[in-house]
């Protein structure tokens, strides 16, 4: 069983290819916008809708496996780093 499968099952989530792919993308680090996550997931799965990526990100965020960051005036970004209280600063 992969680490991604263990994470999903530990939170009571079904293991699906899109969820595993999104977890893998987020594990690479960074604060990624949905468009970038979708592009990287499509490199792994060939075909996945943007809505499916939004759905996966919503499920992962609710389960505490990802964090949604909403900088003022910018699109939402996601990261795998959870469980701490680090800050995000936006330069102007």
Task: Tell me what pLDDT residue 71 has.
Answer: 81
Lowest-pLDDT range of 24-38, 50-64, 74-88: 74-88
| Strands of the 32-33 sheet, one edge to the other | 32-33, 77-79, 67-69
Rounded-to-integer distance, Cα 92 and Cα 85, Å: 22
| Mean pLDDT (whole number) for 37-61 | 96
């Amino acid at each position: 069983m992969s680490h991604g499968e263990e994470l999903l099952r530990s939170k009571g989530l079904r293991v699906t290819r899109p969820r595993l792919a999104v977890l893998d993308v987020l594990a690479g680090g960074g604060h990624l916008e949905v468009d970038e996550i979708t592009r990287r997931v499509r490199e792994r799965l060939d075909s996945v809708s943007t809505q499916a990526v939004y759905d996966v990100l919503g499920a992962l965020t609710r389960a505490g496996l990802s964090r949604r960051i909403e900088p003022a005036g910018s699109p939402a970004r996601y990261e795998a780093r959870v469980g701490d209280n680090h800050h995000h600063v936006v330069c102007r």
